[in-house]
Chains A and B, each alone.
Chain A
Amino acid sequence: MSEHEYVPKSKAGKWFNDRLPLLTLGAHLTDYPTPKNLNYWWTFGGILTFCLITQIVTGIVLAMHYVAHADLAFASVEHIMRDVNYGWLIRYIHSNGASMFFLAVYIHIFRSLFYGSYKSPREVIWIIGLMIYLLMMAAAFMGYVLPWGQMSFWGATVITNLFSAIPLVGDSITTWLWGAYSVDNPTLNRFFSLHYLIPFLILGLVVLHIWALHVPGNNNPVGIDIKKPSKDTVPFHPYITIKDAFALLVFMIIFAGFVFFTPNVLGHSDNYIPANPLVTPAHIVPEWYLLPFYAILRSVPDKLGGVILMFSAIFILFVLPWLDTSKVRSAVFRPIYRQFFWILVIDVLMLGYVGAMPAEGIYLVLARVGTIYYFLHFIVVMPVVGYLEKTDPIPMSISEPVLTGGAEPSLARKVNDKV
């Protein structure tokens, strides 16, 4: 990416770099030209990397003390909380860390939606990101099962039962997933194994995500293509590193607030009751970050239909770059789309809220309205608004004010000619 070729100063450095160009990679990462107008919504990539590392490190320590057995899991978690040195701290960081991870990833995804970061030429970054998100949900779900409390057990029962909706082979698939005829010890064992595996898959995808990002470079709040490096960019280090560090520290203060002062507020009290296959909790609810999808699932009276719709809600995001017909990336210059964006945000928040409520009465109505709007937004609003919308004038570059000429036909000119 950087224009000048990096040459190590020391002889040893040169010898090593000729054989494995790690130093060149390091130089690329520090020099990486980054748009200078990135706002704080762009700091969540770094924050998410921190979250992943935190989960992996605390998770490895927890796995040293945890026992994946239906009769011992609950007790081993209490052993961690009471007898392991700072076990309570490690576990609370891990359990709240999952929530903070999702908080950050949702901000990251909605930032991408607002500024059009999923659009050409960044489709592959977006798709890899969605794969990371899918794996995150799988890891979080299986992690929540491990303490083997009531919500662990019944959450696992509800989610694995979804697969029984598949025609003909559904029941066989569910039995295969369980490794038994109900959620039981074999299920717990395999969930632990997969829960340990998935974060490393995520780590691999994160490397690809960043690699794919470094090909076209960052999008930016104005959403225009910029020359790199130029007066519109700053080197990643120290400008972006220090800004990411500042944002990360603010994030860590909030994180610490949860861990030290309300460590259980995001969990469900029923999960401190040991799993009991004979007693069903009054309301089975997943963790907060899965609630919008839970609401979509329950909004359909038919089980198979609900399952299909829930998975579609995620998979529709994979084709988003091709559903969006607008040539303008940033919603800053899209007065109509911008309003639909905020409606979508409210819609998803509302789905999350009704997902936590019993599926009856007004909540069911809201869930259905919310589900219909969710799909309309992607299938109808995005393609249609992209065609019809008259976008605002777009600057030629980050440094220059709006449309002060410039000889070469820019993206701004093209877009305004069209509308």
Chain B
Amino acid sequence: MIKFNIKLIVLSFLLLVSLKPLQSAEMVDPIKVDWSFKGLTGTFDRASLQRGFQVYKEVCASCHSMQYLSYRNLGEPGGPEFSVQEVKAIAASFEIEDGPDSQGEMFTRPGKPSDKFKSPYPNVQAATAANGGAYPPDMSVLVKARKGGANYIYSVLVGYEDPPPGVTLDDGVYYNKYMAGNKIKMPNNLMDGLVEYADGTESTVEQMAKDVTTFLAWAAEPELEERHKTGVKVIIYLVLLTTLVYLSMKKIWSRVDTEV
């Protein structure tokens, strides 16, 4: 009887799950990319992270902030792992406002690794006003903040198309296959050869999209590599301990005539 009912539960669940596609018919599923950081032991591709940072710095950063990251993060384990000198140089290339000094005046100075990433606009309102009324979202946790994660971000970056016949777009609105509602206010900023990669990698649109998405995935989850590594250790430890406790339990319960 119980077995039969479990079958019933499974069946009704399958039925329910099969109803799901009804809901999201108008959206195109994002492209599935084989990310190196997927899976139980996934890690970031270091070279891709460094290239991705370059794309972010040269393309995205003129509109998008990443206010929760610090320059020092770029040199930390599990990230792009720039050298100490490189991180200092990157930080110093930004003019950071500091203060007030002893006279009560604000002043600017070259950035330090401990500084947060400099935002392109002083506040959300300024960013919105400068971008035709659409706030370019902060990208610190963007990958976690979108259904579909890295696949979705990548898809939007490569998903620009001419609008299909019959679709008219307002000024400053672009057609994107993967964007919800297909309308996006961010123009297609990536074109082949836009960035000159230091490591000589050819900068196709797909390559840049992949690199910058990898960088954003790390930015959203800088702990990912440590999390995966610790997780594997924790699970192995727990499985071993569980086995020992199971054997102890069997031994203890062998004193009574009940199965355990």
Q: Does A379 contact B (CB under 8 A)?
A: no
Q: Does B96 contact A (CB under 8 A)?
A: no
Interface residues on chain A, size class:
35 or more
CB <8 Å contact, A242 and B16 = no
Known interface pairs A243-B249, A353-B16; A273-B137 also in contact (CB < 8 Å):
yes
CB <8 Å contact, A246 and B246 = yes
Q: Does A88 contact B (CB under 8 A)?
A: yes
Looking at chain B's contact residues, the main secondary structure is: helix
| Among candidates B1, B232, B257, B260, residue contacting A335 with C-beta atoms closer than 8 Å | B1
Q: Does B141 contact A (CB under 8 A)?
A: yes
A140 to chain B, nearest CB (A): 21
Q: Does A349 contact B (CB under 8 A)?
A: yes
In the complex the two chains form, what is the Cα distance from A77 to B2 in whole Å? 45
Chain A: CB-nearest residue to B251: A242
A229 to chain B, nearest CB (A): 12
Q: Does B131 contact A (CB under 8 A)?
A: no
CB <8 Å contact, A249 and B238 = yes
Contact bitstring B137-151, A, C-beta under 8 A = 1, else 0: 110110011110100
Q: Does A322 contact B (CB under 8 A)?
A: no
In the complex the two chains form, what is the Cα distance from A262 to B249 in whole Å? 31
Contacts A253-B238, A269-B146 known; list 17 others, CB within 8 Å.
A36-B258, A82-B68, A239-B256, A242-B249, A243-B253, A243-B260, A246-B242, A249-B241, A256-B234, A260-B230, A260-B231, A273-B145, A335-B1, A339-B1, A346-B8, A350-B16, A362-B19
B22: chain A residues within 8 A (beta carbon): 362
Q: Does A264 contact B (CB under 8 A)?
A: yes
A282: chain B residues within 8 A (beta carbon): 180
Of A37, A246, A345, A353, chain B has the most CB atoms within 10 Å of the CB of: A246
| Among candidates A252, A261, A358, residue contacting B228 with C-beta atoms closer than 8 Å | A261
In the complex the two chains form, what is the Cα distance from A81 to B256 in whole Å? 49
In the complex the two chains form, what is the Cα distance from A282 to B223 in whole Å? 30
| Among candidates B16, B140, B232, residue contacting A78 with C-beta atoms closer than 8 Å | B140
Interface residues on chain B, size class:
35 or more
CB <8 Å contact, A260 and B234 = yes
CB <8 Å contact, A253 and B40 = no
CB <8 Å contact, B227 and A263 = yes
B71 to chain A, nearest CB (A): 13
B76 to chain A, nearest CB (A): 10
Q: Does A89 contact B (CB under 8 A)?
A: yes
Known interface pairs A82-B68, A269-B146; A257-B235 also in contact (CB < 8 Å):
yes
Chain A: CB-nearest residue to B231: A260
Known interface pairs A82-B73, A273-B137; A256-B5 also in contact (CB < 8 Å):
no
Q: Does B252 contact A (CB under 8 A)?
A: yes
In the complex the two chains form, what is the Cα distance from A246 to B243 in whole Å? 8
Q: Does A15 contact B (CB under 8 A)?
A: no
Q: Does A130 contact B (CB under 8 A)?
A: no
Q: Does A234 contact B (CB under 8 A)?
A: yes
CB <8 Å contact, A239 and B252 = yes
Known interface pairs A269-B147, A273-B145, A338-B1; A252-B238 also in contact (CB < 8 Å):
yes
Q: Does A270 contact B (CB under 8 A)?
A: yes
Q: Does B248 contact A (CB under 8 A)?
A: yes
| Among candidates B227, B245, B257, residue contacting A260 with C-beta atoms closer than 8 Å | B227
Q: Does B222 contact A (CB under 8 A)?
A: yes
A252: chain B residues within 8 A (beta carbon): 238
| Among candidates B13, B222, B230, residue contacting A349 with C-beta atoms closer than 8 Å | B13
Contact bitstring B1-44, A, C-beta under 8 A = 1, else 0: 11001001100110010010011000000000000000010000
CB <8 Å contact, A88 and B227 = yes
Known interface pairs A88-B227, A259-B231; A269-B253 also in contact (CB < 8 Å):
no
**Top 3 nearest A-B pairs by Cβ distance?**
A260-B231, A272-B145, A342-B5
In the complex the two chains form, what is the Cα distance from A353 to B18 in whole Å? 12
**Residues A321-354 near B (CB distance < 8 A):** 335, 338-339, 342, 345-346, 349-350, 353
Of A82, A253, A346, chain B has the most CB atoms within 10 Å of the CB of: A82
CB <8 Å contact, A78 and B249 = no
A-B contact pairs, 25 of them (CB 8 A): A36-B256, A75-B67, A82-B73, A89-B227, A89-B230, A239-B253, A242-B245, A242-B249, A242-B252, A246-B245, A249-B241, A249-B245, A253-B239, A260-B228, A260-B230, A260-B231, A261-B40, A274-B138, A338-B1, A342-B5, A342-B8, A345-B9, A349-B12, A362-B19, A362-B22
Q: Does A357 contact B (CB under 8 A)?
A: yes
